[in-house]
Amino acid sequence: MKTLNVITGSPEWLAARRNYLCASDAAAALGLDKKTSRNQLLHMQSTGQEKEFSEWVQKNLLDRGHEIEAATLPIVECIIGESLYPVIGTLEIDGLSLLASFDGLVLDESISWECKSRNADLIAAIEAGDLPDTHWPQVEQQLLICDGKKTLFTVSDGTEEGTVILWYESRPDRRKNLIAGLLQFVEDRDKYIPPEIAAPVFAAPQIALPAVFVQVSGGVSVQDNLSAF
């Protein structure tokens, strides 16, 4: 794994992400993400567009998520028994340029940490003993990049009592599907042609309609302005 000396969320981080397949997009690349479709990701990566977030989402979900992550870090370090540090890692494999933004790694990179804000469906999946399809691709890509042994996946509100954990180890079938899915995504992205967007059509304003008249002369000659009307 190679590391990038950039800070998550910075302009440099955003610029670096454009050159890689990011772990946070892995589920969408495989068609498993419920929030971003595969076609949407193809379009964004082909055109260089970035996903836009409303002010409410930025404040109540993204910024709040960073606050929860910071509050959960000491809890996780206590569970693991080692200090963690955030890092941006990259890996070139099978012609794929991969990137992962780790919430935390131990010094020897054998254990990673991924933190999510509390979500009822995600907690239910964890309590059932596994990550859902919407989340395992991200963790599989992270473990692939750092060559780690396992990931401590947490769903938390920043408190010890509100933190649910799952130890996740890479599964050969999922890693195989991940790499195959990413290779297919890159192939489709390279052939992708953004659809043409038709220019909007606007009706010319009609200030007033003429008064309708019909004039009959001698019962034979008829004059009117119906066609103009």
| pLDDT 10s digits, 66-116 | 899 999 999 999 999 999 999 999 999 999 999 999 999 999 999 999 999
**pLDDT reported for residue 23:** 97
Grade residue 9 by pLDDT with cuts at 50, 70 and 90: confident
pLDDT score at 108: 96
Contacting residues for 167 by C-beta, under 8 A, at least 6 apart: 150, 151, 152, 153
52-56, 194-198, 205-209 — which one is most confidently predicted on average? 194-198
- The predicted-structure confidence for 151-198, as pLDDT tens digits, reads as follows 999 999 999 999 999 999 999 999 999 999 999 999 999 998 887 766
**Phi, psi of 39, deg, nearest 5:** -65, -35
CA dihedral for 126, 131, 134, 138, sign (positive or negative) = positive
> What per-residue confidence (pLDDT) applies to 60?
45
